[in-house]
Structure 1
């Protein structure tokens, strides 16, 4: 270099230093400009993790277990009198007198159904008497009397029990219709029965004159 370019030693040394410095700077610039991996800050990383876990599909709940089947409620009814198959019959709760007659094989020809309310809802343990007077004082659960109140009027002249009579029995009293009969039953239910006939005076719709007509025909 010195011989070809005619450079002095000092100039050649300075040029060499400049080239070395330029090479070092170029290498440093290249090294600092290389791509480097960048990690996300901790707060961003935690938020991404929380969002990802929140978006994970949750297992859908299975179908609810089937409810335990409860046995159907039934009522036990004693059907007697002029029916083809008298005896004890089990009927679904909510059945009516006509259903009891059907379960007993139907009514025999010539049976008197006067006073038999075939649309009445049955109660468990009662007796349905068809075409015959039932034994007086026989009571069905729920405050109604089986027998006369179901199969027809009781024996002629027998007083009606205010504590056990059904609406049909009370309806046979002088001056008593379905509405007043229901008032008598409501009073009985509220007070747990009748302790004396005089309590009829406290029933809504019974005045002195009507009480005088009913009193000889009833008992507590």
Structure 2
């Protein structure tokens, strides 16, 4: 029967049937599937591959930017150019500071110094500090009559090596004229402009009393009359009578 059923087949078909009979059952079942079933399995396989690829892509490592520092300065908008429409007016300078305890003092240094002019110095500065701030004394200037250790006062004038016109007897102005001897004044000494050295030259007035006169002048804004000498510490009636014809406000 078997030979009669295969006798009409070609040799190729007989070999294929013989090989199929020798294959395992599960391989024969797979080979016997219909094309529709194979297409469905192919679609399922493609979907599974796509899902695996998407899952792998989503789970890949990603670079993370470093966090910004909290105190990092952020750029601000550019300030308007001076004089532009958005520029704010600069505040007007206030009045110059008045001299007080610990406040800077302003002195005028002139004469034979390298850089004469008005200087601002710390409180308690001395004549030597003013000379250094003015660039130093010019070569050949005689400083014999200059007290470089004297403490300066606010608004004082220091003249080095020369006398200003109108100073008493051509004497030193500000007590700092080098090479000028401090002699008696030709006229009354001004209580409001004389220095400690000039007041010290008055009869009966020593360095301590001269300092008291200058301190009173600073605290009360100057002398309005010669009679105010009565209020200076250390000046009694007798000394006042001796000084009265020699001084003026």
* Superposition TM-score, scaled by structure 1 size: 0.50
Q: Which has the higher contact order (CA 8 A, sep 6+)?
A: 1
* Superposition TM-score, scaled by structure 2 size: 0.45
